Amino acid sequence: MAPSHAVRCCQRGLSWIPVVFINLVVGWSYYAYVLELCICESSSGWRQFLIYLLIFHMIFAMFLWSYWKTIVSRPVNPSKEFCLPKPEKEQYEKEERVEVQQEILKRVARDLPIYTCTGSGAIRYCDHCQLIKPDRCHHCSSCDQCVLKMDHHCPWVNNCVGFSNYKFFVLFLGYSSLYCLFITATVLQYFIKFWTNQLPDTHAKFHVLFLFFVASMFFISVMSLFIYHLWLVGKNRTTIEAFRSPVFRGGTDKNGFTLGFSKNVAEVFGDEKKLWFLPIYTSQGDGYTFPTRLVTTDCEQQTLYHQHISKCSTDGETNGRLVGSDGVHMSHL
């Protein structure tokens, strides 16, 4: 037991290395841009550099805010409602026949708002966490837990990106792209002066050189990832669903959760557009149930969905951010 605990502690410690690396790079970029470039070169035009510094610090603050919100927002796990009751759990563990185990899971899942299944049509069950997976929920081996609306595990934030922090992650990509673009654009003229030997022969010119290269490379990589996730938001898909389409009872449907561009965006960023660009939680829903395209109407599942909404409202689990109450139908595909 002790060695495994020690290994887990080492893994947790090592998992913070990418985060430390990013913060060191960001810290150096701040030093190089503010001290070595703006302050040291301010004698050649202090008004220009004052404007640079004001814009730089605004972007820098939003970048750090969204980055650390992504890191500290812990993944949301399925509630006990999705765990097997004790009698069914004992029966499930004793049973060796897969088809009988599935019958046990189906009996329990009949009272849950679940619309997706495995590729073979079986109930999605996590043997490790011992629970029935809600729609769009997946087990993260790095976090060692099931995560609601899991998108992916990101080593650069040492966290699982999912329902609780996906908006923060997208904003982090956006502001980091803007941060790198601003540095690249404002340092370009000094980068050109470096190659034409017009900069003073000091150590500051090497900071300018590397600052331009680092900002440019990070901008290209982060911007491409940002564009990709904007596309995912517009399609209402997670990274997992983009590579493996969700399976409903009627079959695979990559657009099963698509509600139209505006509603897809609102599901992640909320209805108040003035809060879209702030790293403040405004996403819609409770992470367990999601509106789907109306393909067929299943009265039984409609009833279960509304029972779930009522239960969550009574228990105070959703904090008034439930979806589906705006007239969007739930379809059991």
Q: Which two tokens stand for residue 188?
A: 């370009």
Question: Which one is catalytic: 38, 137, 143, 154?
Answer: 154
| Cβ pair 156, 23 in contact under 8 A | no
Q: Which two tokens stand for residue 278?
A: 């702030």
Instruction: Name the nearest CA neighbour of 301 among 151, 117, 79, 162.
Output: 117
| DSSP-assigned beta bridge partners for residue 132 | 125
Q: How far is the C-alpha of 123 from the C-alpha of 306, rounded, in Å?
A: 21
Q: Which two tokens stand for residue 201?
A: 């022969």
Active site residue 154: yes
Q: How far is the C-alpha of 58 from the C-alpha of 136, rounded, in Å?
A: 35
| 59: Cβ contacts below 8 Å, ≥ 6 apart | 175, 178, 179, 182
Residues classed as catalytic: 154
